[in-house]
Amino acid sequence: MNFKKIAFDVMGSDNGLIPAVDAAIKLLGEQKDLKIIFVGNEEKLKSVLATKKYNPEQIEFFNTTEVINMTDGILEIRRKKDSSMVRAIELLESDKVDAITTAGATAPFIAGCHFILKEIPGIKRPGFMPVIPTVVSGKVTLLLDVGANLECDPEDLQNFAIMASAYSKLINNVDNPKVALLNIGEEKSKGFEMHQNAYKLMDENKNINFIGNIEPRYIASGDVDIVVTDGYTGNIALKAAEGMGKILLKEIKTALTKNIFRKLAALRLRKAFKEVSAKFDYKNHAGAILLGVNKIAFKSHGSSDKVAFYATLKMTYNAIKNDVVNKIKEALEK
């Protein structure tokens, strides 16, 4: 069988091997043409897998002896040659696999992809692109960059728009994805010179369905399919929104469990609350592609559990199925 292959770096995550393995087995059960190469401590991996049910043809191991830790700087990518992260990226670079998924440290991951995979020709800076749930059911917004780079220039933002538009068409089935520029106001004179120039570039580019500036409060409104920004601003906006979401949900929980009467009434609304939190739960959106590198490279949140890993692996699988990076290269050549 002609398997689609994901190299899965399972060593760097906060929660050990079990959630990663469980998520992989779940997806392998669903996608019979998928093979996952577990990159990491083979002995430990095999002992976790010993009690699980799976099709052995769909699993391989690649034993490694080192681990990139969460606190490691980008230089560890050069030093820890036998780390699971480096080996996984190398497997992808040499076309032994079609994509990688990691939950390891962000900065070394970006550095490793840059050093080993390189960027798509014409791309100076890749961007981290999480998928943001919106108020419109079933509709998502792609937001990039959220932190692969501190600074971006107008051309980077234009490239983000083109790449994300191709991704949105392929993966989210959006016909003519609407692109907006994250800014402090809607008028085109808002923001720094960089924003004004990026606005002009995208507005004049006929390959981008650019609709203007968007304020951070409307990212999740469902009005746009793609929001482009520099990594610093994207990171600030994402973390501010995440923080507010968590605080509000926590406050509501506290208020609803204050006494037995409230607890009983809240019990009857359990399903309603589950609907809301499922929609906005980051676990279902824990994965982000590093858009702009030469191959398909996904990162899952460092604290991923089974649900989060499953979501990221599924995104990775879909990206392979849709040949997303090659399609992006074609879009950039237009």
- Residue 206 or 268 with smaller CB distance to a second copy: 268
Query: Closest distance between a second copy and the C-beta of residue 302, in Å?
Result: 13
Query: Closest distance between a second copy and the C-beta of residue 181, in Å?
Result: 12
> What residues make contact with a second copy under the rule CB under 8 A?
135, 147, 150-151, 182, 184, 191-192, 215-221, 232-233, 235-252, 255-256, 258, 261-262, 265-266, 268-269, 272-273, 275-276, 279-280
- How crowded is residue 276: how many other Cβ atoms within 10 Å of its Cβ? 11
- Residue 134 or 300 with smaller CB distance to a second copy: 134
Q: Is 99 exposed, middle or buried (0-12, 13-18, 19+ CB in 10 A)?
A: buried
Query: Closest distance between a second copy and the C-beta of residue 202, in Å?
Result: 19
- Tell me how far the alpha carbon of residue 257 is from its chain's centroid: 34
Q: Is residue 140 helix, strand or coil? A: strand
- Residue 212 or 245 with smaller CB distance to a second copy: 245
Residue 97, token pair as written in the block? 């696999």
Query: Closest distance between a second copy and the C-beta of residue 216, in Å?
Result: 4
Residue 259, token pair as written in the block? 């006494």
Residue partners of 22: CB distance under 8 A and separation at least 6: 52, 306, 309
Contact, 292 vs 163, CB < 8 A?
yes
Query: Closest distance between a second copy and the C-beta of residue 189, in Å?
Result: 10
Strand-by-strand arrangement of the 127-133 sheet: 59-63, 34-40, 4-9, 99-102, 296-300, 287-291, 127-133, 140-144, 226-228, 178-182, 209-214
- Residue 118 or 279 with smaller CB distance to a second copy: 279
- Residue 53 or 268 with smaller CB distance to a second copy: 268
- Residue 10 or 110 with smaller CB distance to a second copy: 110
Residue partners of 60: CB distance under 8 A and separation at least 6: 35, 36, 37, 38
Query: Closest distance between a second copy and the C-beta of residue 146, in Å?
Result: 10
Query: Closest distance between a second copy and the C-beta of residue 211, in Å?
Result: 17
- Residue 211 or 332 with smaller CB distance to a second copy: 211
Q: How far apart are CA 114 and CA 273, in angstroms?
A: 42
